[in-house]
Structure 1
Amino acid sequence: MSERKATIDDVARAAGVARVTVSRVLNNEQNVRPQTREKVRQAVEALGYSVNQQARALASGAGRTILLIHSHDLEREPNSYYHSGLELGALRACSALGYDLVTRAVDPDREDRNHLLSSIIERERPAGIVLPPPLSDDVDLLLAMKKAGVRVAAVSAGEQGRAVVSSAGIDERAGGHALGTYLTSLGHRRIGFIKGPEDHLAASLRYDGFLDALAEAGIKAEPWTASGDFTFKSGVEAAEHLLRERKGITALACANDDMAAGAMLALHRAGAAIPKDISVTGFDDTPMSEIVWPPLTTIRQPIKDIAERAVHMLIERALDDAACYEALPHELIIRESTAAPAQHSEA
C-alpha cells in the first residue's frame, strides 16, 4: 500500500486547532496568535504536509466558487432533506476554506444535459464541482470533465465513478444489509422493498445488501418490490400498489426516508397499524424520520459530513492525484416503526 499523504485535517488534529485556523496560517492571514501559528507550522513539518499549489493559487483569488450540481427535474418535488443536507455540508466546508458555494440543478432526463452542464461550468468558472448521484455515476461525464481539466469530487459514487474521481459516501450495501438483518432478526419473512431510481447506483447497492441479509436468513423468495423516485408521492403510490396486491407482507423497507413517509401515509389511510400490522423502515435518517408517526427506523447517513468531505477533497487534492474514496460511518437507528410480526395471514 502506498503511504497516504497528510491532509489539512491531519495537521489540524496534530496541532489541536480547527481546520480553518490551519488554512489561515497556510495562507499567511492575520488574526492568528503566534503560539497557535507555531503549533500549526510544527505540525506541518512533522507530518510532511505539502500545500496543494493549485489550491493555493485558487485561494489567492483566481477562483473562489465551488459548484454543487443537483440532478433534479425542477418541475417535480425535491427530496425533502437530502439536497439541503448536501448544501449545508458543502457550505460548511466552503465557509471554513474561504470559498463561495453555488448550487445548480440539471434534469437528468434531458437529452442536452451534458451541453447544459458545460454551459453552467463555462459561465460559473468554478474552482471545483461536487456531483451527487446519479451524475456521480456518469463515467463518461466524469472522464470528460477530468480531461477538460475540471476539478470534480463525487458524492456516493459507485465503483466505476470512484475509479475516475475522488468520492465520499457510506458503505451503501452494508447499510441495506443492516436493515435486512434487523428485520429478519425480528422474525419477518414476508418482506417488501421500495427501490430508488434505476440509475441511482447507491440505491441499488442498498437493495443488494438487503437481499444479502435475506439470503443469510434462509429466505429464498424474492421480496415484493416497487420502484420510486425518492419522493414522498412515489412512496404513497408504491404502498397503494402493495395494498391492492394484498401480499400479506409484514415489513416494508424503503430506499429513503421520504418514500417511507409516503408509504406510511398510504398504510394509515388503509387502516393498517404500524408496526402491529406492518413494520416500515427508511434510509438516511432525515429530520422527517423523527416527526412521522410512528418515528421511523432507518439508517443514519451523515449527508452533511459527506458533502463537507467532498469539498475538502476538491481543495486538498491536485487535479492529477489518483482518485480516492472515503467511506464515512453509518448507523442503524431503531425507532417505533418496527416490531416483531404479529400472526398474519394473507387475505
Structure 2
Amino acid sequence: MSSLPKSSPLIGAPGSEPARRAPTIDDVAALAGVGRATVSRALNDQAHVSPRMREKVLRAVEALDYRVNPQARNLASRTSKTLTLINCNSRDAPPNSHYFAAIEMGALRAAAAAGFELLTYSLHIEDEDRDDRVVELFTAGRTAGLVLSPPLSADVALARRLIAQGCPAVCISPGDDVSALLPSIGFDEEAAGYEIAQHVIAAGHRRFGYMLGIEGHPAAERRHDGFMRALAEARPGADAVIALRGDFSFKSGVELAEAMLAGPQRPTAIVCANDDMAVGTMFAAQRMGLALPADLTVVGFDDAPVTGYIWPPLTTIHQPIRQMAARAVERLVETLLRGHGVMTPGLELVAHHLVPRDSVAPPRN
C-alpha cells in the first residue's frame, strides 16, 4: 500500500532546519481514500463504519503517525449532544414568523427534555451551495443530527447525500420521495384541504379564489389537491376557481386578492394556503369596500395566533406545528441512541383539526 511520508516539511527560518507539519485528519482521509467524517467515526469507534473501512483508516493513521488532537476530541464529544434545526426561505420573501417560531419552540422543548442542545441555522432557497452547507454541518462535526423543515424536507438530492454521509436527519412536512428515504413527521395536508373546502362549499359558495403557496412546496400542494377533490365532488363547474400563486406572505395575499376581486365574476370565497395570505386578503377586501364575511368569505391555514384577534376572526386549519417539531426531535434522538446512520424512513402523522370562526358566511349572490 502506498503511503505519505510521516511528516511534511514546511519552510522554516533561514539557516534553520525545516519545520515539520503534523499530519491532519484530512491527510488521513486522503491516504485512506475516505471522507473526514468516516475517519472521525472510525477513530471514535462509532457505528456505520465497516470493518474494512475502519482497517483502512487505522493503517493510514499508523503510516502517517497521526495523533488525535485532544481539544478536537473534546469538541466532538460536545457536539454529539448538539442538534440543528434548519429553516429555509426565499431571500426576497419575508419569513413566516409564526411558522418558524412554532417549529423552533417545539423543537427546543423536546431537545431540552432529551438533554440535547438545539441550534438553528437559516438558509435561502436561492443559495446554490445550500445543500453543501447542510452536509458540512455534519461532516465538520458541528452537529450530531439535523431536523429539516420545508422546502429542504422535499429535497431528494439532499436526503440522499445525508444518507451517504451517515448523517441522522428527520424531516418535517416532507415530499413523498423524501419520506421514503428519511424519518418524517407531518399531518394529512390533503385531508385538511378537503375539510376546509367542504366547510366553505357547505355555506353555499360556488365561485372560488385559491391562493397557492411557493412552487415546489409539497405540503401546500397537497392542501390544494384536497381542495380540488372537494370541488370535484361538489361539481361547481370548470370555471369556478381562480388559482394564483403566492409566497405565503401578507404582501402576496394583498396583491393576489386585488387581482382576484377586480373582475366582474369575482369569487365569493377565497381559500388561502396559509394564514398570512388570508390576512392580506382580508385587508385588501376591506380596503376595496367589501364587507366581511357578507361580501366575501376568507379561510386560511395554520391557525396563527393573529387569526383569533382580527375581525372577523379567521376560519382556518390548526396545523400542529409545535407537535410536529417536537416529534421530529424525538425521532432524531431515537435515531442517535440506536447509532449513527440507523434511520427508519416513513411518514408519521400528527392530528390536525378545523377551527371554524366568523370569516365564513353564505354568499349574497
The answer for the alignment partner of 2:346 in structure 1 is 324
The answer for the alignment partner of 2:259 in structure 1 is 241
Q: CA offsets, 1:261-314, max 9 Å, x none?
A: 111111110011111001000001010111221110000011000000000111
Q: CA offsets, 1:55-88, max 9 Å, x none?
A: xxxx985611111111124554111300000000
> Which structure 2 residue ranges, 5 or more long, are not aligned?
1-45, 48-75
Q: Does 1:132 align with 2:149?
A: yes
Matching residue within 270, 295, 298 for 2:288: 270
| Counterpart residue type for residue 313 of structure 2 | P
Moved more, 299-308 or 317-326: 317-326
The answer for the alignment partner of 2:320 in structure 1 is 302
What is the CA–CA distance in structure 1 between the aligned matches of 2:161 and 2:90, rounded to whole Å? 23
What is the CA–CA distance in structure 2 between the aligned matches of 1:191 and 1:274, rounded to whole Å? 15
What is the CA–CA distance in structure 1 between the aligned matches of 2:327 and 2:134, rounded to whole Å? 23
Q: CA offsets, 1:2-34, max 9 Å, x none?
A: xxxxxxxxxxxxxxxxxxxxxxxxxxxxxxxxx
The answer for the alignment partner of 1:80 in structure 2 is 97
1:182-197 → structure 2 map (5 Å cutoff): 182-197=199-214
| Counterpart residue type for residue 364 of structure 2 | A
- Structure 1 pair 123/76, CA: closer, same or farther in 2 (3 Å)? farther
Give the deviation of 1:122 after TM superposition: 4.3
The answer for the alignment partner of 2:129 in structure 1 is 112
What is the CA–CA distance in structure 2 between the aligned matches of 1:182 and 1:90, rounded to whole Å? 32
What is the CA–CA distance in structure 1 between the aligned matches of 2:213 and 2:141, rounded to whole Å? 31
> Which structure 1 residue ranges, 5 or more long, are not aligned?
1-52
| Counterpart residue type for residue 296 of structure 2 | I
| Counterpart residue type for residue 251 of structure 2 | K
2:86 match: secondary structure: strand
Given that 1:80 and 1:258 are in contact with CA atoms closer than 8 Å, whether structure 2 keeps it comes out as no
1:58-73 → structure 2 map (5 Å cutoff): 61=78, 63-73=80-90
- Structure 1 pair 112/341, CA: closer, same or farther in 2 (3 Å)? same
| Counterpart residue type for residue 191 of structure 2 | A
What is the CA–CA distance in structure 1 between the aligned matches of 2:87 and 2:217, rounded to whole Å? 13
The answer for the alignment partner of 2:38 in structure 1 is none
Instruction: Tell me how large the CA RMSD over aligned residues is.
Output: 1.9
The answer for the alignment partner of 1:28 in structure 2 is none
Matching residue within 175, 182, 201 for 2:192: 175
Matching residue within 308, 311, 329 for 1:290: 308
Give the deviation of 1:196 after TM superposition: 0.2
Given that 2:244 and 2:256 are in contact with CA atoms closer than 8 Å, whether structure 1 keeps it comes out as yes
| Counterpart residue type for residue 341 of structure 1 | P
What is the CA–CA distance in structure 2 between the aligned matches of 1:245 and 1:99, rounded to whole Å? 55
Moved more, 193-202 or 311-320: 311-320
Q: CA offsets, 1:147-172, max 9 Å, x none?
A: 10111000011211110101111100
1:52-63 → structure 2 map (5 Å cutoff): 61=78, 63=80
- Structure 1 pair 73/159, CA: closer, same or farther in 2 (3 Å)? closer
What is the CA–CA distance in structure 1 between the aligned matches of 2:82 and 2:332, rounded to whole Å? 11
Q: Does 1:253 align with 2:274?
A: no
Give the deviation of 1:323 after TM superposition: 0.7
- Structure 1 pair 74/248, CA: closer, same or farther in 2 (3 Å)? closer
Given that 2:168 and 2:343 are in contact with CA atoms closer than 8 Å, whether structure 1 keeps it comes out as no
Q: Does 1:339 align with 2:361?
A: yes
User: What is the percent sequence identity of the aligned residues?
Assistant: 43
The answer for the alignment partner of 1:209 in structure 2 is 226
Given that 1:74 and 1:105 are in contact with CA atoms closer than 8 Å, whether structure 2 keeps it comes out as no
What is the CA–CA distance in structure 2 between the aligned matches of 1:168 and 1:276, rounded to whole Å? 38
Given that 1:73 and 1:105 are in contact with CA atoms closer than 8 Å, whether structure 2 keeps it comes out as no
1:244 match: secondary structure: coil
Give the deviation of 1:320 after TM superposition: 2.4
Given that 1:180 and 1:214 are in contact with CA atoms closer than 8 Å, whether structure 2 keeps it comes out as yes
- Structure 1 pair 89/245, CA: closer, same or farther in 2 (3 Å)? same
| Counterpart residue type for residue 247 of structure 1 | Q
What is the CA–CA distance in structure 2 between the aligned matches of 1:180 and 1:207, rounded to whole Å? 10
Given that 1:278 and 1:341 are in contact with CA atoms closer than 8 Å, whether structure 2 keeps it comes out as yes
Q: Does 1:159 align with 2:179?
A: no
What is the CA–CA distance in structure 2 between the aligned matches of 1:310 and 1:77, rounded to whole Å? 25
TM-score computed with the length of structure 2 as normaliser:
0.75
Give the deviation of 1:199 after TM superposition: 1.0
1:336 match: secondary structure: coil
The answer for the alignment partner of 1:45 in structure 2 is none
Give the deviation of 1:326 after TM superposition: 1.0
TM-score computed with the length of structure 1 as normaliser:
0.79
Given that 1:70 and 1:106 are in contact with CA atoms closer than 8 Å, whether structure 2 keeps it comes out as yes
